[in-house]
Structure 1
Amino acid sequence: MKATRVLVLPGYMNSGPGHWQTRWEAAHVAYASVTRVTMPDWMHPDREGWCAALERALEAVEDGAGEGADGVLLAAHSLGCLTVAHWAAQHASAAARAKVAGALLVALPDPHGPGFPRDARGFDPVPLAPLPFPSVVVASTDDPYGGTAFARRCAGAWGSRYEEIGARGHINAESGLGDWPQGMDWLMALGSRA
């Protein structure tokens, strides 16, 4: 299997030690290099700053990122998903956008929902233009931060495949997913299409 570079984009307050994103980083997957995109302020998310951090992370990935590389895959959770959508719609350079082979977008938060962080700035309205790369939106039926109707609407607008995994809360550490091999399989399948 070819090497794949994965950039992890956590949401509000970052992803803790039990989160599947953190576990993927620690797993040292033989066929993928997994790196977290560090945001300027995890507690006071700002769209401009978060999109700029994603752009810088992609710019830092060398073209070809290693012999036989498939490209960069984005593994986003919660507010990281909205960051990907805003970045692709308004902030992406052509060179950075061309490096992205696909995106796994997990647990979309609804900016109009009651649990959306008050300190998050600039994420509403959510861009509803098609994403310029393959993507999968993954939703839970009991996510307190975003309902399935919102996730389906975004998936349809973005041209994303939609996957619903039952009652798993915010699809985070408390969801009991462990290393979440199904999520990794969906992510790697996006890379194989590139």
Structure 2
Amino acid sequence: MNFTPRILILPGLGNSGEQHWQSIWERQYPDFSRINQQNWDNPVCRDWIEQIDRDVMAGDPSNVILVGHSLACTAIAYWAQTFQRTIRGALLVAPSDTEADTYPPGTTGFIPVPLLNLPFPSTVVTSTDDYYVTLSRATFFARSWGSKLVVLDAAGHINAGSGYGNWPEGLALLRELDTGTVS
């Protein structure tokens, strides 16, 4: 499967380990690249969104698809609100509710979750049993962002710990953004 846009991978809090689907995709597709943050464990929103913008603007932004997981989904929403760039799209997987009492401490500036209509096509993928976001909140984020919503049954946080290593269904959703067939 070939992709024509630049695919930029954005892990969430703590980065994505070797068995995470984001890391596996990077190994499978050498053209995919990770946006590396200076501080994965105690992130500052402003630092994260500035790094996202540097990587997006390193080429043609209209040819970029962002692939965010967890906290990176909120970072992408803040980035969109702040920089108003037109990109090809975003795949937002397991968005965390940074406003919830269950969210781990150590992040700065990720509250409140931005509730704007994203200026590009997007797909939110969530689970019925994600510890970091309720289904109702993930649905609310997707509606606020103008995103297509995909709900997986009992998929946890949609990471390696939930059994999501190689994730072909996720690649199919990415392909929809690539071809412009997100409905």
TM-score by length of 1: 0.88
Pick from 136, 158, 166 the counterpart of residue 171 of structure 1.
Answer: 158
Aligned pair count reads 180
TM-score by length of 2: 0.93
SS in 1 for 2:154: coil
Q: Tell me the equivalent position of 1:75.
A: 67
SS in 1 for 2:88: strand
Q: Tell me the equivalent position of 1:14.
A: 15
Pick from 54, 57, 76 the counterpart of residue 55 of structure 2.
Answer: 57
Question: Which sections of structure 2, spanning at least 5 residues, go unmatched?
Answer: none
- Superposed, 1:113-192 pairs within 5 Å as 113-192=100-179
The answer (yes or no) to whether the contact 2:99–2:113 under 8 Å persists in 1 is: no
1:3 CA drift (Å): 2.0
What do the CA deviations read for 1:12-69 (whole angstroms, capped 9, x no partner)?
Answer: 000000000000000126xxx21000012001111000000100101112x38xxxxx
The answer (yes or no) to whether the contact 1:130–1:157 under 8 Å persists in 2 is: yes
> CA–CA distance in 1 between the matches of 2:125 and 2:137?
12
Q: Does 1:36 align with 2:28?
A: no
1:127 CA drift (Å): 1.0
Counterpart amino acid of 1:19? H
> CA–CA distance in 1 between the matches of 2:159 and 2:50?
25
1:113 CA drift (Å): 2.0
SS in 2 for 1:18: coil
What do the CA deviations read for 1:88-110 (whole angstroms, capped 9, x no partner)?
Answer: 012x1x5xx13x10100011111
1:2–1:169 CA distance, 2 compared to 1 (3 A) = closer
The answer (yes or no) to whether the contact 1:20–1:178 under 8 Å persists in 2 is: yes
The answer (yes or no) to whether the contact 1:114–1:145 under 8 Å persists in 2 is: no
1:2 CA drift (Å): 5.9
> CA–CA distance in 1 between the matches of 2:99 and 2:81?
20
Q: Out of 101-110 and 171-180, give the one that drifted further.
A: 171-180
Query: Following TM superposition, where does structure 1 have runs of at least 4 consecutive aligned residues deviating by more than 6 angstroms?
Result: none
1:149 CA drift (Å): 0.6
SS in 2 for 1:60: coil
CA RMSD, Structure 1 to Structure 2 (Å): 1.7
Q: Tell me the equivalent position of 1:5.
A: 6
Q: Tell me the equivalent position of 2:27.
A: 26
Counterpart amino acid of 1:48? R
1:178 CA drift (Å): 2.5
Question: Which sections of structure 1, spanning at least 5 residues, go unmatched?
Answer: 65-69
